[in-house]
């Protein structure tokens, strides 16, 4: 009789224990749900002051995409892509601040930093070759396609400093429509020159430096030189030539070997020359 009674008591205790466990679980779920509802109603937790040595925000692949850390000279912020390539860094340096930008391949393509002489700014191409630098008030452009453009209010380049295909320097001035009206350049096999164009792009004048001296060409609307001022290679004197509309010289004024002036007048075909020379021994 006692054994049966003990068995009944044990069964009742076991049932009661299971019931208590179920009530505890249900209570925990209710409490957790209540806390979540309360947090959602109140908003996210705000921490006024957080003290750490480093913070990393992980991306989908488990690698950092944002990193905030300290360095020996100050602080640093890094941004990475999902592949873990560092794309941007803002950091402290012994001279001040530094901003560095990399492309997806990990090549440094831009940088802005402070130096002892002031701020510096540089750009590199995809090979890591420096193309431009602005430091200590001087702008340096490098590379085959390096150029500096100044635009007007409409975004049209009106002044260009660049290099030509043969690596010579070139400076262009354009009108408001972008037509090049004057240009300083290196003329192949001649020397430095200045070219003046009309707004329609027609070449109207050329001033050039040659091995024999300077040369000035004035052209007509058809591009034919009608006035030429130059030096004479054999004597070193000056000469001026006036040509007709076909480019044939009809008037030539120059100095001769004896340092005297000569005027030559020719016909429409450049023939039948008539020379005018000073009278020998004549004194006005």
**Do 36 and 79 lie in a common domain?**
no
CA dihedral 231, 232, 234, 237 (to 10 degrees): -70
**Do 6 and 77 lie in a common domain?**
no
**Residue-by-residue DSSP string for 159-225:** EEEEE-TTS-EEEEEE-TTS-EEEEEEEETTTEEEEEEE-TTS-EEEEEEE-SS-EEEEEE-TTS-E
**Do 179 and 217 lie in a common domain?**
yes
Q: How many domains does the chain have?
A: 3
Q: Per the domain annotation, does 201 fall within a domain? A: yes
Which range scores top for mean pLDDT: 9-13, 74-78, 207-211?
74-78
**Do 61 and 39 lie in a common domain?**
no
Report residue 36's pLDDT band, with 50, 70 and 90 as the boundaries. Answer: low
Q: Per the domain annotation, does 38 fall within a domain? A: yes
Q: Per the domain annotation, does 224 fall within a domain? A: yes
Instruction: Select from 141, 157, 189 the last residue of a domain.
Output: 141
* Residue 128, φ and ψ in degrees, nearest 5: 85, 15
Tell me the per-residue pLDDT of 216-251, one tens digit each, with 9 for 90 and over.
Answer: 999 999 999 999 999 987 778 899 999 999 999 999
Instruction: Select from 94, 125, 141 the last residue of a domain.
Output: 141
Q: Per the domain annotation, does 164 fall within a domain? A: no
Tally of CB atoms within 10 A around 87: 15
pLDDT of amino acid 279: 74
**Do 179 and 269 lie in a common domain?**
yes
Domain that holds residue 102: 54-141
**Do 272 and 185 lie in a common domain?**
yes
**Do 37 and 60 lie in a common domain?**
no
Residue by residue, what is the 3-state secondary structure of 138-169? EEEECCCCCEEEEECCCCCEEEEEEECCCCCE
Is the pLDDT at 199 greater than 80, yes or no?
Answer: yes
**Do 37 and 83 lie in a common domain?**
no
The pairs formed by 191-198 with CB atoms below 8 angstroms and a separation of 24 or more are none
Tell me the per-residue pLDDT of 56-108, one tens digit each, with 9 for 90 and over.
Answer: 999 988 899 999 999 999 999 999 999 999 999 999 999 899 999 999 999 99
pLDDT of amino acid 91: 96
Q: Per the domain annotation, does 165 fall within a domain? A: no
**Do 23 and 62 lie in a common domain?**
no
**Do 215 and 256 lie in a common domain?**
yes
First to last CA, the chain: 168
Q: Per the domain annotation, does 6 fall within a domain? A: yes
pLDDT of amino acid 233: 72
SS3 59: coil
Contact 219, 225 (CB under 8 A): yes
Instruction: Determine the Cα–Cα distance for residues 70 and 51; give it in Å rounded to an integer.
Output: 12
Q: Per the domain annotation, does 149 fall within a domain? A: no
User: Which of 110, 107, 117 has its CA nearest to residue 90?
Assistant: 110
- Which CATH number goes with the domain that contains 204? 3.90.930.1
Q: Determine which of 42-51, 139-148, 226-235 has the lowest per-residue pLDDT on average.
A: 42-51
Q: Per the domain annotation, does 249 fall within a domain? A: yes
Instruction: Select from 141, 164, 195 the last residue of a domain.
Output: 141
Q: Report which of residues 60 and 27 the model is more confident about.
A: 60
Contact 110, 128 (CB under 8 A): no
**Do 22 and 72 lie in a common domain?**
no
**Do 86 and 60 lie in a common domain?**
yes
């Amino acid at each position: 009789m006692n054994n049966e009674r003990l068995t009944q008591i044990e069964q009742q205790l076991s049932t009661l224990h299971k019931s208590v466990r179920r009530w505890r679980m249900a209570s925990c779920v209710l409490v957790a749900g209540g806390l979540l509802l309360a947090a959602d109603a109140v908003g996210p937790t705000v921490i006024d002051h957080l003290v750490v040595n480093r913070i990393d925000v992980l991306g989908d692949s488990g690698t950092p995409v944002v990193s905030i850390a300290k360095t020996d000279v100050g602080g640093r912020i890094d941004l990475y892509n999902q592949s873990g390539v560092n794309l941007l860094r803002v950091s402290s340096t012994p001279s001040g601040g530094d901003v560095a930008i990399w492309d997806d391949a990990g090549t440094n393509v831009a940088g802005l930093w402070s130096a002892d002489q002031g701020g510096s700014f540089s750009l590199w191409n995809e090979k890591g070759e420096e193309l431009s630098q602005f430091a200590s008030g001087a702008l340096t452009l490098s590379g085959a396609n390096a150029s500096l453009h100044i635009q007007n209010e409409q975004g049209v380049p009106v002044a260009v400093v660049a290099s030509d295909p043969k690596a010579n320097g070139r400076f262009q001035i354009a009108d408001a429509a972008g037509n090049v009206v004057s240009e300083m350049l290196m003329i192949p096999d001649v020397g430095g020159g200045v070219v003046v164009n009309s707004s329609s792009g027609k070449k109207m004048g050329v001033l050039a430096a040659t091995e024999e001296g300077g040369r000035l060409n004035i052209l007509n609307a058809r591009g034919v030189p009608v006035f030429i001022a130059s030096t004479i290679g054999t004597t070193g004197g000056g000469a001026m030539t006036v040509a007709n509309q076909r480019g044939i010289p009809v008037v030539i004024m120059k100095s001769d070997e004896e340092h005297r002036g000569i005027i030559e007048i020719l016909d429409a075909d450049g023939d039948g020359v008539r020379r005018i020379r000073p009278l020998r021994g004549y004194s006005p």
